[in-house]
Amino acid sequence: SVQWIKAIERAGVPEEDVIAVQAGGREIALYGVEGEVYATDILCTHGNARLCDGFLTGHEIECPLHQGRFDVRDGRALCSPLRENIATYPVRIEDGMVFVAL
Ligand code: FES
């Protein structure tokens, strides 16, 4: 069954940027895009790079190591050298808090 984990205050998610948060004993990446919040795994599927150190443009997060890009909405790998999509997690906003289904 889906477990909704409280991650951070909604106000703590930057607009047009990415942050790392702790949720359920693990670290995930949260993205603020056009008033919405998206969540993905934090480690790139290509190598040992943290997407929270990458660059967010629209819905695309660019890995800081080899510039692979994922769509934060569905985790789709958009270009080489990426071969694998990244895991995404449903997000819910309630009482000013961000909850993530892990
Ligand atoms: Fe992310 Fe290579 S580690 S593109």
Q: What is the pLDDT of residues 38-61, one digit of tens each?
A: 999 999 999 999 999 999 999 999
Measured from CB, residues less than 6 Å from any atom of ligand 1 are: 44, 46-47, 49, 63, 65-66, 68, 81-82
Backbone angles phi, psi at 88, to 5 degrees: -120, 160
d(CA 101, CA 34): 21
d(CA 41, CA 22): 11
Q: What is the mean pLDDT of residues 19-27?
A: 95
Give the distance from CA 49 to its chain's centroid. Answer: 13
Whether pLDDT at 1 is above 80: no
- ipTM field: 0.99
Question: How high is the pLDDT of residue 62?
Answer: 98
Q: Would the pTM count as exceeding 0.90?
A: yes
* Nearest alpha carbon, ligand 1 atom 3: 47
Q: Ligand 1 mean position to 14 CA, how many Å?
A: 23
Where helices occur in 24-84 by DSSP H, the ranges are none
Q: How confident is the model at residue 73 (pLDDT cuts 50, 70, 90)?
A: very high
